[in-house]
Every structure is written in structure tokens, then in C-alpha cells.
Amino acid sequence: MPVSALRVTTAAEAAARDHAAIAAGTGSFDLMLQAGTTAAAALLRDHAGRLAHGVALFAGSGNNGGDAYIVAAQLARAGVAVRVHAAAPPRTPDAIRAMHLASPALVHGVPTGHERLVVDGLLGTGHKGELRDPVLAACTRVALARDGGATVIALDVPSGLDATTGDVAEGSPAAHTTLCFGTIKRGLLVSRGHAGRIVLLDIGLGAEFGGDPDRADGAWHLPNGQDLARWLPPIAWNAHKGRRGRIAIVGGHEGMAGAVILAARAALAAGAGLAHAIVDGPSVAAVQLTVPQALAERWPVRESAANTGARDDHTTLHRCDALAIGPGLGRGTRSSQLLERVVNEHRDRPLVLDADALWLIAEVANTLGTESAALLRHWTRHSRAVVCTPHEGEFARLLGTAVPAAWDARVDALRQFATRGGVTMLLKGTPTIVATPDGGPITVVPHGTPLLATGGSGDMLSGLIVALFGQGLAPLEAAVCAATVHGRAAELATKQLGGVRGGTLEAVFDALPSAWRLLEHPVSFPPGVLADLPSPA
């Protein structure tokens, strides 16, 4: 993982980073002042129209409330009409100091209801568990303001959202935007719909961190846009199809051609020069009719080659730069035999294993009385370029047990499986997480919407990954870039549709060109902004 990747932290890790900065000589109030000042600057830049109608700030008794007082003071100095509602008097020294600093410019009391912008500074990263009065009552006011059309901005985390687990307490007001201080908190990525747009603000923490920020155990990394753009190989203007990667997708059992069709379409949309669809005989016509750009062939069946003319040496697969197997493969004996042949006879080819391939791996491992990870390591022992893309149900089958609900345990299970299996593991979900066989930090992909929660979405992702494999990307790079563009396309499509209902994967396909442009040409952030993740809603 490149050093420019952003660290995603738990509440404890965020606190450790603050303490390390303080130990290095930065005053705790200076951090609060920087946080509030950068947040106010972001509000003035992004919400000038709404600020013209005034702003209501809700402040808690802790340091999150102190941040809110600093924001209020800075906005008041800029000429904004500011009204602050304190759920309780400030109790920490820094929060008390912030209130006294801000008080001369503020109007205290219950917001009028005419404000079109509301700032939630009630609870920060230290809160866990249920909401109780008077904070619960204040949260209810924030939620009512949102229901009335106000834009809600949360400071660091929405009040009542657990910064580590993402658990949302009853009564927690959802935010349109969350302004994060210094690091993105893990819980925000788990509960993206509650956090809204996530803007990471630079508060001057620099590289200071309690402990080793790159340690593998528990670490989450978020690649920045420059990393992703650098990973993507440019497509030269004079490139021909042979130089853009030749890939093959193996699957499409009778009645399940659609999975390979979606994967092939995605691979071509990711820039593959040649896409082969190796499918069951009855599925060939369906591929030819729906994806004429793809080259459709029947599954090679060695024992019948002499009678049918089918290739018995996988000539097509030997010519390919990367392979994917699993979409619509089926779960019968023929499918299992084909999977084992492809994996064993093409160890030198980058490989994506998905869908039915993962089901069959678990089935064979169970029959042999071994673990799925051990079987994967045996099957792929001569190849380092393997990506498995399970959803939660498929990963549970590979593990032989339920996937842990707690994120620390889930991440640990994924990392251990990747290490034991010698493969890169991409666990699809909210968020998607990627583990590498070297046991390095987890890479998190926070993009996507429920538009992807439909049949065929995983096949589309497999096609994107295998195309990038065929263009020379390493396993982690291919997996992360593909998952990112997949999620970004869903976000763009959801925004275009105005919601999820009524949309299909066709809308995601239609948004792929725009999503690729975003990946190839990352935007530059304003001063003080380190990252900006769009709202999934």
C-alpha cells in the first residue's frame, strides 16, 4: 500500500493520534481551534447560500461541543447569524475555553427553525451506547430540522454513531455531510448512509501517531485518488486490441449465460482489447447475440474432443493475459472438473475466482476433509496473482462458519484466509474490504449504493477485475480500482436516477464512462481538505 494512503481509524486510534500530537508539543486547545476553523472554512465554501439564512449549532458538553463553539465563533466573524443551543454546559477545560471565546458573538437559545443549515456538535468519537436526555432531546431537534428541509452537518461523527463499529443509536440524527478531523473514522464507512458525504479535514496532525500507523494488525487504509490514477495504465492512442489485454471468462452453464454476459460487458467497458466467453454449449448463442464484441466458445471437454471437434488443450486460455472463472459456472460435476482443470493448467495466468467457483472450492475442500484456504494454496501454489471476490455468504462457506459480525473479527478472518490461501481476498459489502496474502493492512473501498445489491452485480465486478488484470495491474491494484469504479458508477447512477428503486445494473453500466473519468482524473481538493467521499444516497 502506498505511503500516501489515508489511515482509517477506530475511536481509540484517533484518540491516540491526538495524544501523540499533544505529546509532540501541539496544545490540545490548538487542535480544537484548528478543527473548528477548518470546519467553518468548509461551511463557508460549500454552503454560502444556506448560511445567508443563518445557522443553528447544537453543542454538547464535551470536546465535540467545543469544536462547535469554535465553528460558531468563526462563522459569526464572517458575518453569519449564529444561534447556539447547548444541550448541557461545557465540562472539559478546552470546551469551556471555546465557549468563552465564542460567547461575545453568539446568540444562545433554541434555534428559530428558519435556519437552513444545522451543525451537530453534540457527541464525538468517545460516545458509545444509547442516547439519553438532554442530548437525546437535542438530537431530536436536529432530526426535525432535517425533516423540515435543513441541511445537517456533523462534526467528526453524527451524534450517536459509534466511531468504531458504525452502530447507530436510536434517535441519532443522520447527516447530509460529516466533517472529519484528521482521520476518517471506521464507523462512518460502515454506516455510510447515516454519515452522508464524508469530508476529511487537515487539522495539522501530520505524521504523528501513537504506535506504528502501518502495522498490519487492525489497520485500515483508504487509497487516495492519485494512487488509483497512477495504478491505471494509460491506453495509448495508437494501441490495437492485442495491446489492451486479452482475457477469458469461464462460466455460463446452461440457463446461466447472463452471468458471463455481464462479466464480458464489464471487461470490455474496462478497456479489454479481446474478451473470450468460454461457456456451456447451449449458452454460446446467447453470448453471441447479446455481446457480439466477445468471442464465444464452448467449454473444452477433453473426453469428447475427438468426436465434437472441441479443443482439448485450452488453446484460447493459454493465449489470454488473465482469466476469470465462476460467473454462472454451475455446481455440478462437469463444472467442478472444469474449475480444477482451469486452475491447475493455467497457474501462470492471473486469475479471478468468483461465484460458483468459490462454492465449488468449499465443496471440494469439504469432500477432501481440508480447509478451503489450504485447497486454494495447493491449487494456486505457482501463481501469486489470484483474486477471490466472495460476498458474505460465499465467504462463510469458504470459512465453514458464519462471518463474524464484529468488524475487527471479520477483518482478522479475511486477513488470515488471504494469508493461508496465498490469495488476495475482496469481501464485497458496505464497505468492501481487501486483504493481501502478505498479511498487510486492509484496504477499504467505501463506494457504492444499494443499486449494486442485485443479481449480476458481482459478475460485473469480476469482469472489471479481470480486464485490469489483463492490462498488467497487480492483484491489489486490480481489485481496488475495479471495486472503486464499480461503486462510483453506482453512486453516479443513483444520483442520476434520484434514488435506487427503478434502477437496474444497466444504469450502472451507463455510468461507467463517467466513473472511469473520475478515476483517471482525480479532482484537486481545496486547501485543508484531504479527502471527499460523496454521499451514497
What is each CA distance from 419 to 157, 361, 396, in whole angstroms?
A: 33, 17, 17
The annotated binding site for AMP is made up of 428-432, 458
- Say how far apart CA 407 and CA 418 lie, in whole Å: 16
- Say how far apart CA 378 and CA 374 lie, in whole Å: 6
- Say how far apart CA 78 and CA 39 lie, in whole Å: 13
- Say how far apart CA 361 and CA 375 lie, in whole Å: 8
- Say how far apart CA 374 and CA 476 lie, in whole Å: 21
What are the cell numbers at 333? 460435476
Look-up of cell digits 495504478:
231
Question: How many residues are present in the chain?
Answer: 537
- The residue type found at 369 is G
pTM value is 0.92
Q: Per residue of the chain (537 residues), what is the pLDDT tens digit?
A: 444 678 899 999 999 888 888 888 889 999 999 999 999 999 999 999 999 889 999 999 999 999 999 999 999 999 999 999 999 999 999 999 999 988 876 666 666 667 799 999 999 999 999 999 999 999 999 999 999 999 999 999 999 999 999 999 999 999 999 999 999 999 999 999 999 999 999 998 754 444 444 454 568 999 888 889 999 988 778 777 777 889 999 999 999 999 999 999 999 999 999 999 999 999 999 999 999 999 999 987 654 444 444 444 457 898 999 999 999 999 999 999 999 999 988 888 999 999 999 999 999 999 999 999 999 999 887 776 999 999 999 999 999 999 998 898 999 999 999 999 999 999 999 899 999 999 999 999 999 999 999 999 999 999 999 999 999 999 999 999 999 999 999 999 999 999 999 999 999 999 999 999 999 998 889 988 999 999 887
Q: Check if the beta carbon of residue 5 is closer than 8 Å to that of residue 224.
A: yes
The annotated binding site is made up of 63-67, 120, 124-130, 156, 159, 259, 328, 391, 428-432, 458-459
Identify the DSSP state of 5.
S
The annotated binding site for (6S)-NADPHX is made up of 63-67, 124-130, 156, 259, 328, 391, 459
246 DSSP β-pair partners: 274
The full set of domains in the chain, from first to last, is 6-217 (3.40.50.10260), 228-521 (3.40.1190.20)
User: Could you give the angle at the alpha carbon of 485 between the alpha carbons of 483 and 488, nearest 5°?
Assistant: 105
The annotated binding site for K(+) is made up of 64, 120, 159
* CA count, 13 A, side-chain hemisphere, 528: 15
Cis before 282? omega within 30: no
